[in-house]
């Protein structure tokens, strides 16, 4: 059965490998994927360990539904202590890796220690080998995957790999599988690099027995109809995630020139329709592809149309690359966006962090805080397309003073640069923010401030707050599976009831990450997508495990709280500007100057925002400092953690 997938403990220092079953009691408490990884991280790392040292534990997993008859169960989760933030490191990517890992017999890998020389893991049908990777070191992410396939003589092998950025310990290096599937946030690629682990290659041909196959397929058909009929997913199937950029920029919700403006003007060349036109011209009309088991097909294929990288193939770009190499750096060339996207994919770097740090450096250059001495003569003005692409390379290879400095991440870089540079760094908990601008949306601002892994749009974002849904619809969504009779508002500029919406979405997204499915298949951008009330049947039909919506909600709460415990142990404090639930001062002090009437002049009100955080903590069962109360820990069965049961 799906629940027969194992957990493997791999010590790269000693070469020891131990395989264990996952007890059903653990499944009932944490399900799998991100939730079980959070439990394992809290239990298998010591307080204060060096994120780039051998004592940091790296976890790679699929969700409890991965590779079953449930749609879009392609997500791979990676977790460790983050070398970027010093707090919980967690990232999630699509593609085909996690299903292949499940067919090879495993749902979770616990990787410890450090190999003496470069290695990769070869996992196939219940067997795990540690193999020499000397010939792979230095290769790009795509080169690495094809080299492994040639070496093992199997083109169906799926690999999770690092590129040169991970080898060079760039603290926001990512893990890649396929051409563009990126475990981008929090620097898990640097953790792999610190362990001399170049790749994890998997091939599986083992059957997975489905508990109730006919019912599972019928129920999944309902899911498919529900998902593909929604307008948001139909739009994604045509334009991909860049459609979000077009709508958000028109409204006035994009960070531009770091944080100087909230709309990128005269940017027709990077609008979604233009990106789609280029993809169609270079790849033909059928250029949209998908991850395993997904019907949405939100990913475009393209070849760079001109410039020094003309003809290079890649996939995307995602919404984040449009911001990273477009709006934030004030570059308005589609070729720059497509080339920047290609470079970070090949080097193995978080596109979001890379673009944000370059745009921050550009503002510092404009202010005179950085000069040509620090840039080694590079003209780092906003809108300099060549400088953006050059800085991507310099960061990856730690070339020059500034390249090496930015490779350490924003907070260490600000400490090295000095001169009030930290004031201009748009980050939470040491991680740069998405290129969105949340000054007009208090709920989304609360989301980024309180996210467990740092500034983030995929942990608790109530994106549907922008839809102005009637209150009765909001109550139907946010009053399920646990009752809520508090205030709610359909006004996205309001602070009323938004703390509950963020709290609810946080539990929803944790549930999704435990199941191993894609967030586009739940209440993220689609208000009518599946949620807590739908998941018990899909779990039961595929795994035989019986659960209620309320139990899944409680599991999500439990998993979010164990992430909080980890962060508190590693130094998170509520009002800490570098490790707390805080926002950069510019959110409060600088009003928006562009966009729609409900955006111009908007900024976050300090007092109302503080009250929102208080409410958010109260919903969680945390005290005024953001620490879970003894009663909350006992209710969730976390009062004895770390328990070392697995």
Nearest residue to 545 via CA among 30, 35, 20: 30
pLDDT one-digit tens code per residue, 246-258:
899 999 999 999 9
**Is the torsion defined by CA of 407, 409, 415, 421 positive or negative?**
positive
Predicted confidence at residue 580, as pLDDT, reads 98
pLDDT at residue 2 greater than cutoff 80: no
What local confidence, expressed as pLDDT, does residue 1 receive? 67
pLDDT digits (tens, 9 = 90+) for 546-587: 999 999 999 999 999 999 999 999 999 999 999 999 999 999
**8 Å CB contact between 437 and 251:** no
Q: pLDDT digit string (tens) for 337-360?
A: 999 999 999 999 999 999 999 999
pLDDT at residue number 52: 98
Phi and psi (nearest 5°) for 428? -135, 125
pLDDT in tens, 274-297: 999 999 999 998 899 999 999 999
What tokens does 459 get? 């942990």
**CA-CA-CA-CA torsion sign (154, 160, 165, 167):** negative
**For 449-465, what is the mean pLDDT?**
96
CA distances from 261 to 252, 436, 456, 591, 645 (A): 9, 11, 20, 9, 51
For the chain, percent of residues with pLDDT exceeding 70: 100
- 313 HSE (CA, 13 A, CB side): 7
SS3 611: helix
For each of the domains in the chain, give its residue range(s) and CATH number, in order of start: 2-203 (3.60.9.10), 230-432 (1.10.569.10), 442-635 (1.10.599.10)
For residue 286, what pLDDT is reported? 87
Per-residue pLDDT, averaged over 80-98, amounts to: 98
pLDDT at 595: 96
Percent residues over pLDDT 90 in the chain: 96
pLDDT, position 6: 97
Contacts of 373 by beta carbon, 8 Å cutoff, 6+ apart: none
Token pair 């280029």 is found at 278
Res. 320: pLDDT tops 90: yes
pLDDT value of position 223: 87
Q: What is the mean pLDDT of residues 230-237?
A: 90
Q: Is the pLDDT of residue 56 over 90?
A: yes
Task: Report the pLDDT averaged over residues 258-281.
Answer: 96
Instruction: Write a three-state SS string for 508-549.
Output: HHHHHHHHCCCHHHCCCCCCCCCCCCCHHHHHHHHHCCCCCH
Alpha-helical (H) ranges within 368-480 are: 385-396, 400-406, 410-417, 442-450, 471-478
Q: Give the pairing type, strands 88-93 and 106-112.
A: unpaired
State the average pLDDT for the chain.
Answer: 96
Structure tokens at 282: 């270079």
């Amino acid at each position: 059965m799906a629940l027969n997938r194992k957990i493997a403990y791999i010590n790269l220092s000693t070469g020891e490998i131990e395989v264990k079953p996952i007890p059903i009691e653990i499944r009932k408490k944490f399900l799998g994927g991100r939730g079980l990884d959070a439990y394992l991280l809290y239990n298998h790392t010591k307080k204060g360990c060096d994120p780039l040292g051998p004592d940091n534990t790296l976890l790679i997993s699929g969700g409890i539904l991965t590779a079953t008859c449930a749609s879009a169960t392609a997500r791979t989760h990676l977790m460790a202590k983050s070398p970027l933030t010093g707090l919980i490191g967690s990232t999630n990517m699509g593609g085909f890796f996690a299903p292949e890992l499940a067919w090879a017999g495993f749902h979770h890998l616990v990787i410890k220690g450090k190999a003496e020389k470069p290695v990769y893991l070869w996992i196939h049908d219940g067997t795990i080998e540690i193999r020499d990777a000397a010939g792979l070191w230095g290769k790009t992410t795509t080169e690495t995957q094809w080299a492994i396939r040639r070496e093992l003589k199997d083109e169906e092998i799926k690999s999770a790999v690092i590129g040169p950025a991970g080898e060079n310990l760039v603290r926001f290096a990512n893990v890649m599988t396929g051409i563009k599937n990126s475990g981008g946030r929090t620097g898990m690629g640097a953790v792999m690099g610190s362990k001399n682990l170049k790749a994890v290659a998997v091939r599986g041909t083992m059957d997975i027995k489905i508990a109730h196959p006919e019912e599972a397929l019928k129920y999944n058909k309902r899911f498919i109809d529900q998902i593909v009929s929604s307008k948001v997913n139909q739009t994604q199937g045509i334009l991909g995630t860049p459609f979000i950029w077009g709508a958000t920029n028109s409204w006035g919700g994009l960070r531009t020139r770091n944080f100087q403006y909230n709309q990128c003007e005269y940017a027709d060349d990077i609008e979604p329709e233009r990106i789609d036109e280029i993809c169609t011209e270079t790849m033909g009309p059928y250029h949209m592809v998908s991850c395993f088991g997904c019907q949405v097909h939100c990913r475009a294929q393209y070849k760079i149309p001109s410039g020094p990288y003309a003809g290079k193939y890649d996939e995307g770009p995602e919404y984040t690359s449009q911001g990273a190499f477009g709006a934030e750096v004030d570059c308005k060339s589609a070729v720059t966006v497509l080339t920047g996207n290609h470079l970070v994919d090949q080097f193995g770097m978080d596109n979001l962090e890379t673009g944000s740090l370059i745009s921050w450096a550009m503002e510092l250059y404009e202010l005179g805080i950085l000069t040509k001495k620090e840039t080694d003569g590079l003209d780092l003005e906003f809108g300099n397309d060549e400088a953006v692409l050059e800085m991507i390379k310099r960061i990856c290879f730690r070339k020059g003073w500034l390249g090496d400095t930015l490779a350490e991440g924003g907070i260490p870089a600000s400490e090295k640069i000095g001169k009030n540079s930290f004031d201009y760094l748009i980050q939470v908990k040491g991680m740069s923010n998405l290129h969105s601008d949340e000054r007009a949306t208090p709920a989304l601002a609360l989301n980024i401030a309180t996210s467990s892994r740092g500034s983030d749009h995929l942990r608790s974002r109530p994106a549907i707050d922008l839809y102005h849904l009637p209150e009765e619809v909001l109550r139907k969504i946010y009053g399920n599976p646990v009752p809520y009779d508090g205030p709610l508002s359909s006004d996205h500029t309001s602070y009323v009831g938004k703390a509950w919406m963020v709290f609810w979405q946080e539990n929803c997204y944790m549930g999704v990450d435990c199941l191993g499915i894609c967030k586009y298949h739940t209440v993220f951008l689609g208000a009518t997508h599946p949620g807590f009330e739908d998941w018990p049947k899909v779990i039961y039909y595929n795994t035989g495990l019986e659960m209620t919506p309320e139990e899944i909600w409680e599991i999500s709460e439990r998993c979010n709280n164990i992430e909080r415990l980890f962060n508190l142990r590693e130094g998170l404090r509520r009002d800490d500007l570098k490790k707390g639930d805080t926002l950069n001062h510019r959110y409060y002090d600088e009003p928006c100057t562009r966009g729609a009437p409900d955006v111009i002049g908007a900024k976050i009100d300090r007092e109302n925002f503080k009250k929102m955080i208080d409410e958010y903590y109260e919903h969680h069962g945390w005290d005024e400092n953001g620490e879970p109360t003894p009663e909350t820990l006992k209710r969730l069965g976390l009062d004895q953690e770390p328990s070392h049961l697995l």
